[in-house]
Amino acid sequence: MTYIDPSPLKSADTHPAMLGSLLPPSGVLPLNFSPGPASLAAEVQAAIKALFDSERMCSMYLSHRSPEFLDILTSAVKHCRLAMNIPEDYEILFMHGGGHGQFAAVPLNLCPNGDEKATYLVNGTWSKRALSDASKYCRPFVVSSENQDGTFTRNPSFEHLDPESKYVHLCSNETVNGIELHQLPKLGIKAPLVVDASSDFSTKPIDWVGCNVGILYACASKNIGHPGLTLCVVRKDLMGSPSKFCPGVLCYTTNAREGNLWNTIATFNVEVVNIFMQWMIAQGGVHEMERRAIAKSDLLYSVIDKSEGFYATPIADPSIRSRMNIPFDVAGGDEETTRNFLIQGWERGIVGLRTLTPFGVGKYLRASLYNGVSMNQVEVLAAFMTEFLKTCRTQQ
């Protein structure tokens, strides 16, 4: 994927839609399709607001060692386990540092000597970045699907893995590239699977035992909460031998031993995750979240595929197209047509399709369809895309 430095864009075009603004004109309800941080479902937002309206002390300023917060923490662990069918031989940890922190935490916890082998399956931007950090703390064996031009349009092979690896790392959904593993693979080696599920956790079932999942981590701000907390699910037999250089804040053994209270936990964030998990269970659980993800993404891909090339997505294979993040271009990436599309969408409240990222601004826009995005909101986007296409074709 080709990226463009956003600084010239800023100086050349200062319209809010072109600068990634998420605030549409006054009085227009925003429909947030941003890649994250993302919105939460309306019912979850209402429950969070009620925390400040109740007579009890809100967890935002509740001591993390108070009995009141310990009840919240116990409830959050319970509902995470229930919602995602997490076996009892896995610890559920609420950690700091986001996904980037886990890029280092995984090898620091599993490679005590620093020279152990670990296989990295690279299928996009974030697995490539995880590899870069891990190379400081282990000896990565890399299996990549990167094309010569730097793009990613497929998954790497799962057949040629290093059998001596301490673990196999993969990213189950690449937000930038629009590639998703709809089911985790069952690998042919004994090494445990380590999954970066930051952008798809809670949107599909996980076969924890069958797929030999050793560690799964997910920053909260895509599907289960807001920035400042990372949920880590760690199989207990993998704890106990971290590197001597592993800081306590990243150490699974330390955090598990201290019951998530080695240092000050993100108290409010934990309660938000608890609220989300209870909402998810009430909605029908992870299978219902998966059904919604399929329905929402199918609708948008249908608009793209039926547009006769006016809209296009770089991922041709439907079996690996992301349900969470759909990259697409407008009129082959034509700058003026894309500008009109973004501005007209912004005026209707459709925001987040172009955001300024560390990678700059590329040819493709992105519609992110996390749990907090409703089917009705996707229908609004699909209708706008269809209408915009008809208008452009009429004017030709």
Work out the average pLDDT over 208-235.
Answer: 97
Cα separation, 303 vs 272, in Å, equals 34
Q: Tokens standing for 169?
A: 């790392």
DSSP letters along 233-254, please?
EEEGGG-S---TT--GGG-HHH
pLDDT in tens, 185-203: 999 899 999 999 999 999 9
Task: Write the CB contacts of 48 (distance below 8 Å, at least 6 apart in sequence).
Answer: 40, 272, 275
pLDDT at 4 over 70: no
3-state SS, residue 276: helix
Active site residues: 126, 196, 222
How many of the other CB atoms lie within 10 Å of CB of 284? 12
Give the pLDDT of residue 360.
Answer: 67
Q: pLDDT confidence of 359, banded at 50, 70, 90?
A: low
pLDDT at 11 over 90: no
Work out the average pLDDT over 215-223.
Answer: 97
Lowest mean pLDDT among 4-13, 178-187, 235-244: 4-13
| Percent of residues, the chain, with pLDDT higher than 90 | 90
pLDDT in tens, 247-303: 999 999 999 999 999 999 999 999 999 999 999 999 999 999 999 999 999 999 999
Q: pLDDT confidence of 157, banded at 50, 70, 90?
A: very high
Give the pLDDT of residue 361.
Answer: 73
Task: For the chain, give the mean pLDDT.
Answer: 94
Torsions phi, psi for 394 (to 5 deg): -65, -35
pLDDT at 129 over 80: yes
Q: How far is CA 92 from the centre of its chain?
A: 18
Contact assessment for residue 378 and residue 299, using Cβ atoms and an 8 Å cutoff: yes
DSSP letters along 304-351, please?
HHTTTTSEE-S---GGGB-SSEEEEEEGGG-HHHHHHHHHHHHHTTEE
Cα separation, 72 vs 67, in Å, equals 9
Give the pLDDT of residue 295.
Answer: 98
Give the pLDDT of residue 13.
Answer: 82
Q: Tokens standing for 201?
A: 């956790």
Lowest mean pLDDT among 50-59, 119-128, 253-262, 305-314: 50-59
Give the pLDDT of residue 321.
Answer: 98
User: Is the model more confident about 55 or about 317?
Assistant: 317
* Sign of the torsion formed by the C-alpha atoms of 342, 344, 345 and 351: positive
Of 205, 217, 272, nearest to 93 by C-alpha is 217
Lowest mean pLDDT among 276-280, 334-338, 359-363: 359-363
CA dihedral 58, 251, 184, 272 (to 10 degrees): 0
pLDDT at 55 over 90: no
Which H/E stretch holds residue 47?
helix 42-53
Cα separation, 246 vs 241, in Å, equals 10
Q: Tokens standing for 147?
A: 């094309």
Of 124, 95, 184, nearest to 366 by C-alpha is 124
Q: pLDDT confidence of 54, banded at 50, 70, 90?
A: confident
Task: Write the CB contacts of 334 (distance below 8 Å, at least 6 apart in sequence).
Answer: none
Q: Is the pTM of this model over 0.75?
A: yes
Domains (ranges, CATH) in the chain? 3-32+285-395 (3.90.1150.10), 45-283 (3.40.640.10)
Q: What is the maximum span of the chain, computed from C-alpha positions, in angstroms?
A: 67
